[in-house]
Structure 1
Amino acid sequence: MARVKLKVSHDNQIITLRASGDLNVQHAQQLKAKLLEILETPAETHLALEGVTSIDTAAIQLIFLFRKALTNQNYISRITLPESPAVQSLLEKTGVTKFL
């Protein structure tokens, strides 16, 4: 099982969370902690998921809830989808891409 790397950076009033590796139920608590950390001082946010090699419904749920929380506070969130063909295919087949 690949580990997940989550890195938060701040640049010009934009918060970026870069994720790589497996975003799945085993790493849900780690992802949730980073997302909650960002929500403590909300701003325009970019979720950079290009390096994600696999994703499951636990991670997708957290991302949806995070995006909804930002929207409710009138902040913009941008998501860069994973480059992995397998992950792209999964997100497209399940219809998730139209919500991200």
Structure 2
Amino acid sequence: MQMQFDGAVIKERNVTFAIAVVKPSVFASSDIEGLRKDFSRVFQNLPVVLMAQNAQGTARYSGRRDLVNFISKVPLSRIPWKKYTINFYY
């Protein structure tokens, strides 16, 4: 089984981290930290910021405070988005 998602790897100010796009409902999840850890494995254990957009296109972020503070000031159009595919094996 496969899952696709949009994401990006950001290298800035001697810090490398990843962004993964999720649905807004993820922010209500009690296991959001676990989800960040799951995405971190996809990005070779980089710190991960989760990002969702509301119906108006406004971005919301969840992750390490310093990374969220940084990325929230970057226009979405400047982020090098890429489509990622995860293969699940049972």
* TM bracket, shorter-chain basis: 0.3 to 0.5
TM-score, length of structure 1 as denominator length = 0.30
Higher relative contact order (CA 8 A, sep 6+): 2
Larger helix percent: 1
Give the TM-score taking structure 2 as reference length.
Answer: 0.32
